[in-house]
Structure 1
Amino acid sequence: MSERVIPGRMGGLITLSAADALWSALTAGSGVPAAAAVFTCSPADARAGYVLLGNQVVETVQTSGGGWSVVETDVRRAAAKLNAVHMDRQDLVRIGPFHTAQQQHTYGAPLRWRRRIARELQAPGGPERVTRGEDGPLSHLAGIDWRRIFVARTRDQAMRTWWLPRAAVRLLDAAEHTERQWLHAARARQDSAPPADPPACPEPAAATAGGRLTAHPPTAPLHPYNGELKGQLYSVLSRKPGISRKMAGWTCAVCRTAPATVLDHCHEHGYVRAPLCHSCNTLERPDHLYSNTIRVAGRYRRLFDTHATDWLHHWHRCPGCRARTTLPLPHLAAWTAHTACQPLRPTHRNPRSSRTRTPCGLLRVSWTGSHHAPHSCLLTVAVDCCPSGEHRVLARVPYREAAERFRIWLAETASVVAAAAGPDRLDGLPAQPRPVIADTSEEGLALF
């Protein structure tokens, strides 16, 4: 590395071009693709006082000669954090498009990565340009080269949808939260400094094009969710002023690491479950093909196998589901297809290995009726795209039978969750499902 290292702080100050070279060398083998020139190219702006790399803030320092530098140790720490992230490129989260007004982005403003991606992709030829790997106005997001992991899909032969791996979504959400905390702390330091004794270097702040500070709500440290919203109806709670700000103070009740961004609730009984991050909210959301049909995606292995106890506890935060020892109908349908009917699914010889067999096609489950009329509700589990039959029906399971199977499985799988449930806890449950409140969030994601 030919750039000169400036002594003075732990690890030494290095110029921005040297930091770019160091970052590229350290993240060359990262599972999350890292961008190049993260300190010197747009949207990075050293004058803002910091550069965001993953969920780490690397402060920029103006030297006596007027140039900008960063601490070498901070760059290495950010690279190590990024390298530690494991990313499954098949585990995708939809990030758009959603029905929102396109908003102008200003460089130097906070990350708000969903807005930035939407702005680029909504431009003429945006998705095609990104898929081809062509450079656009936004070269990276928090040091991540999102174009290399971006996926565009076509639905119903017309609608295009945008997807990123779940690990990248969680990392970018954490980056947004880290940036808000850092900006709030920097603003507090600036407000407490005596007017007659200004700092030698300008304090970092998020600035608009006119140089004025943008207003951000104070960001307090995150704290774990401990059932503060237990038993409350979403239709009532969602209308209370300040609930969004209060929700943003919790960590996600499932992964317990990312900041909460949505309020998950049960559509069938109307009760709030808990605040979740976007990633966990999409993980638990059924893949609806139609109003009464879902496709059983691969992520259900995590919901019902490896992380079953955590998710069952989360779903049973709804008093209605807990009292009836069941799940909402779409979730119960997914469980029936994935767990109870999995042995019935055809398999085919794996072309890569003669000793193994792979499941056939894609599981799909539909239902007639509803949970309000369990005697007439019927679940139909089928396989799509099966060579021996395009829509091969595996089983037809009455609702009551599916619920009883789930009750037995729950007792064997998560005894603590099962012990808290029971038919004697029906007092106070709403007789009719509560209306779902229309989402007004800027990303257009349903708050459930």
Structure 2
Amino acid sequence: MPGLRQHGHVFFGDIAVRCYRHKVRWMYDERDIRAAGRAFVELQLDLDDVVDVQLPPYRDIPERDPEECHRPDWRRRLVSWMVDRARNKLLREERPYEEWGAWRDIGPNGLPGDLTWKEFVTSSSRARHLQNIAGTRPLQLMAWSGETWLLPRAYAELLGRWEQRESELTARARLCSCGAQGPYWGGWRRYNTRTGYVTMCPPCAGEACQLYTGHLRGVLYDALRRLSTRADDYLCRLCNESPATAWDHCHEHGYVRGPLCGSCNTREGTGLPHCFLRLEGAALHLLECRGCLEQRTLPRRFHTSVVRAHLEQTERHGRCSRQPYAREVEHEHGVHRFQLECSGWHASRWTKDVTASEVAALVRAFVDTALVAGDGRPSPGDATGAG
């Protein structure tokens, strides 16, 4: 239900059904559902009255305007599906890229490369949640005439009305109460635990929320829950733009770190550790946990990222000046084995073993560097003097 964040509605064809948050659950109004059902019953779909779909040529995302990338366009979405499936077919066949040829060129069957209609439909069925437009499944109605793709006229007109309605709702949802307009894809859409999503620009969010001053540092999360202190009264202490939605806490020591918005909390909990550590203030935020601070460590899930970044900054293939790529390939008997790959002129691959004590020393050095820097912007590889 991606529309919830974007504009608070879910589409059934060209009908937008508004969603409501009630007691931590998202709900529909039954009257809206019944109205949508009646509209579908009245839709006259003549399979003999068809129109040329007129699919546009494929364009890579870097070639497109950022606004265009997210603007509803059902024709461009169909083209993207076709190209993605053609690319996935070549990847599954493990053919070298040099042998792909003009794989994006449209073949005699209307599909790119040598993709067949059966392969297209079969691969699409494996990701059905990605193969719908406006709550409908267009592949079941498409037909190839030998020269162009066809769809029933009534259905193509329905998708056109969906594009217009989706654009209108998104444009309205981009407006903050002060009148300022935010980025197209929900840049100012903030999740509020009381009302669901609201649109709020950073200045308005700063005025509406309190700044967290660290007054809960050293408090256990379980004790905080008993106090019923609300996180959404505060501004996210990482991005400093969105109202917080949850109290972030250390799962290893149990101490509260501070209030985070939904996006920052997700990055910390389930996002890529090395990406989170690059965020401004991320390392110091993790050290808001009294246990981590006293032990000069980080949660275990971040240890590998610290070591990996350190190896990439210090290891080199002979006299090559290129920074290699490192990844952990094995962890056994307390030893972490990393594989490093250099993409220089003389490409090479080698391994590096790091013991548990060396990992602890690297993490401690990284923590010390973060505390000395004080601005929350140390690189994960800044663990000099360790190992």
Relative to its length, the structure with more helix (as a share) is 2
Tell me the TM-score normalised to structure 1 length.
0.38
Tell me the TM-score normalised to structure 2 length.
0.44
